[in-house]
Amino acid sequence: MSSFTDSVVVVTGAGSGIGRTTALEFADRGANVVVADVDSGGGRDTVEAIGDAGGEASFVETDVTDPAAVQEMVDVAVAEYGRLDCAFNNAGIGSEQIPVSEYPAEQWEHIIDVNLLGVFNCMKAELARMKQQDTSDAIVNNSSVLGKVGFEKSSAYTAAKHGVLGLTKSAALENGEAGVRINSVCPAFIDTPLLEKGNVVNDPETLEELKGLHAMNRLGTPAEVAQAVVWLCSDEASFITGEALGVEGGYLSR
């Protein structure tokens, strides 16, 4: 198991689900974790959970669509722990299922702002700091299997997640020589509060349909995504950059 002892890691959207589990995994491996989320209650609960497990973490209330808030997040990491070694840009929101011809423009733009502009804002601030350091650093962006394929009535989310992959590859090309590796993960349907909000897991018929989209006939777990993120940030993945790693139980094999 790779160690992150004394490393400094930022995780956005760390107040629940994949973000919380990843923050806990980094902390369990010795990292100092900056927990960032627009949900202050959830974020503080994550910090408390890390502390209860013997880890070190700080919380920063962060709206990733606000460049000033994102800069504060990076500044807190540096002020509290001296540098920034890794980042998991995970913050995102789901969308209602609406055909393109009927999608309200304001709602469409909001999905793009959080899921794509938010990743751009985070990377811009993180890279500015990382490139000042004489270390090998790593960034992982959370895309989706829908960053690789289409999905009916989910144009905004799908477009945003495709954009995350393009952004990741472009930034990887720009920053490889500077020692910053930049990758993405592409989870399929993961059993998180995001699905619960849509009442998916409470509808047996819909839940079985979603499970059936995967070769393993089940949903993924936040821990399975967290393990992939941590591995991409580790020295074990030292020659991997610009990659879009599927964590998708065979969803894309059909």
Could you give phi then psi for residue 140, rounded to 5 degrees? -125, 130
Beta carbons of 17 and 222 less than 8 angstroms apart:
yes
101 CB neighbour count, 10 Å cutoff: 6
Beta carbons of 173 and 242 less than 8 angstroms apart:
yes
- The question of whether 81 is a catalytic residue gets the answer no
Does an H or E element contain 22, and which? helix 17-28
Beta carbons of 123 and 141 less than 8 angstroms apart:
yes
Say how many Å lie between the first and final Cα of the chain, rounded.
32
Using only the alpha carbons of the chain, give its radius of gyration.
17
CA 58 from centroid of its chain's CA atoms: 18
Question: Which residue among the candidates 81, 103, 157, 251 is catalytic per the annotation?
Answer: 157
Beta carbons of 75 and 129 less than 8 angstroms apart:
no
Could you give phi then psi for residue 89, rounded to 5 degrees? -90, 90
List residues with catalytic annotation. Answer: 157
